[in-house]
Structure 1
Amino acid sequence: MRIDVLSLFPNMFAPMRESIIGKTIDKGLVDFNVVDFRDYTTNKHNKVDDEIYGGGQGMLLMPQPIFDAMDAVEAQAGHRGRVILMDPAGETFTQAKAEELAKEDHLTFIAGHYEGYDERIRELVTDEISIGDFVLTGGELGAMTVIDATVRLLEDALGDDMSAVDDSFSTGLLEYPQYTRPANFRGMQVPAVLTSGNHAKIAEWKQKEALRRTYLRRPDLLEHYQFTPETKRLLREVKQEEAESAEK
């Protein structure tokens, strides 16, 4: 996968060279590039923003530097690919979107600053993404979030490819509780079923506890979850157990 990011602050992307993302770059799984679109301005004062037509607070990014930077990226890559605008008005980013983007071979992110973009910049864009209903200084942190969630889904990105499959949201549920040694830590015991060696019982426990955690913390996710007869039974048990626990 090739990933290009158009940003005025390329140094903000230094963390992308660490951890899982850094390993994918070292393995050659990802070609990661950050383009400072200020380098493409034709303004004699090296400006990339200007006042808003019709009045308004703040400054808008001008289209020319971003269009020219995008032309340079396309010429180097040989094609444009998916172009993602980080914008509060975009669709809310989800694990399903990360899975969709992970199938692409070229992603370009536009990370803006200041008051926003000249509307014509959207003509370059295939996707508009928001990471939530809050305001950041710029699109860099949002772009890093989307990149991280996407790249870790690439084949061979993780040491164990099943790690991504079991992650929260990948199954439609929050992840079940997990434990490691020691089995008894300060009187807190690992659930006996996990040390029983009974793989069928362990699988059922994991499913049930994922349902329990989702029911208690993110019940909204259950509205779109594809239930089977077995998971319906487990959820009924969870609700009964939680109701009994609340009565005590």
Structure 2
Amino acid sequence: MKQFDVITIFPHILDSYINESLFLRAQKNKVLKIKTHYLRQWTKDRHQTVDDKPYGGGVGLVFKADIIMKALASIKRQKKSRVILTAANGKTFNQKTAQRLSKYDQLIFVCPRYEGVDARVEKMVDEKISIGDYILTGGELPAMVIMDAVSRHYPTFVGKQESVQDESFSKDNYLEYPQYTRPEEVKYQGKKLKVPSVLLSGNHAKIKEWRVKKSKSQNT
């Protein structure tokens, strides 16, 4: 069984997402286990302080290295585990990264807030990952994005594994071909929008050829 561990000061942010749809089914079927870890439980002061002002001055607060170190030390590791820090200055996440991370039995996410983490935390993790060149209020959303993309590569997480193989970026790094469903014709702003005739032909070779062509054209 695969496992995700998420270290955060807002564990309930993940609740609605991981307890619905495919994530809920995967947990019920013991394909996947997801555990959230409340960072403040490793503090000892009355206010449960997990952050402090940065040395050298500056605006904002920084997560303390010693608290994160305690959190990481307390999480039981599986044989093949990987610790990930979600950070704006990390390597940009993509489909190849998702495929690579799916080979691990356990992924542990450190989710920063405010001005991020003490730089010494980087020595405690295996890699830093960003989901794009923009700033979010916390690392929980990036962690969920990574969890979602990685989970789709687990056998039985998605009903039909062929669905994953045909998705964008999964084959030759191409985008997925356009998809259509009923009705065959939709009227929009006075125009008739029709399903391409090749998809209605029943000629599987022609359909495959059309899909490959469309996938390649989406990348140009």
The TM-score by the shorter chain falls in which range? over 0.9
Instruction: Tell me the residue number matched to 1:19.
Output: 21
Residues of 1 paired with 2:55 and 2:7: CA distance? 24
The alignment partner of 2:219 has SS state of helix
1:66-145 maps to which residues of 2 (within 5 A)?
A: 66-74=68-76, 77=77, 81-145=81-145
Quote how far apart the aligned CAs of 1:44 are: 3.8
Partner of 2:212: 207
Match of 2:198 in 1: 193
Correspondence for 1:176: 177
The match for 1:154 is 154
Q: 1:169-217, CA deviations, whole angstroms, 9 ceiling, x for partnerless residues?
A: 11211111111122223332211111111111111100111112221xx
Change (3 A) 1:78 1:179: closer
Q: Do the aligned partners of residues 79 and 61 (structure 1) sit closer, same or farther apart at CA in structure 2, a change above 3 Å counting?
A: farther
Whether the 8 Å contact between 2:78 and 2:105 is mirrored in structure 1 is: no
Q: Distance in 2 between matches of 1:160 and 1:190?
A: 24
1:233 is matched with which residue? none
* 1:143-188 CA distance string (max 9 Å, x none): 0000011111110111110111111111211111111122223332
**What is the correspondence of 1:4-83 to structure 2 with a 5 Å cutoff?**
4-14=5-15, 15-74=17-76, 77=77, 81-83=81-83
TM-score by length of 2: 0.93
1:62, 1:80 → 2: CA distance? Answer: 27
Q: Identify which range, 78-87 or 186-195, moves more after superposition.
A: 78-87
Percent of aligned positions that are identical: 39
Structure 1, unaligned runs of 5 or more? 216-248
Q: 1:78 to 1:161 in 2, by over 3 A?
A: closer
Call closer, same or farther: CA 1:210–1:148 in 2, change over 3 Å: same
Do 2:53 and 2:60's aligned partners in 1 also have CA atoms closer than 8 Å?
yes
Q: Normalization by structure 1: what TM-score?
A: 0.83
- Greater strand share, 1 or 2? 2
Change in CA separation of 1:79 and 1:43 when aligned onto 2, cut-off 3 Å? farther
Q: Is the 8 A contact 2:89 2:128 kept in 1?
A: yes
Q: Secondary structure at the match of 1:154?
A: coil
- Over alpha carbons, which structure has the higher Rg? 1
Mapped to 1, the partners of 2:182 and 2:59 lie a distance apart of 57
Report the residue type matching 1:81 in the other structure: S
**Could you say what secondary structure the match of 1:188 adopts?**
strand
Cα displacement string for residues 57-89 of structure 1 (whole angstroms, at most 9, x for unaligned residues): 111110122111111113xx4558100000011
* 2-structure distance, mates of 1:185, 1:80: 50
Does residue 164 in structure 1 map to residue 164 in structure 2?
Answer: yes
Query: Cα distance, 1:127 vs. partner?
Result: 1.3
- Contact kept? 1:20, 1:152, Cα under 8 Å: no
The answer to whether the Cα contact below 8 Å between 2:5 and 2:107 also exists between their aligned partners in 1 is yes
Greater mean alpha carbon deviation, residues 181-190 or residues 123-132: 181-190
Higher percent of residues as helix: 1
Gaps of 5+ in 2: none
**8 Å contact 2:93–2:132 — kept in the other structure?**
yes
Question: Does structure 2 retain, via aligned residues, the 8 Å contact 1:42–1:65?
Answer: no
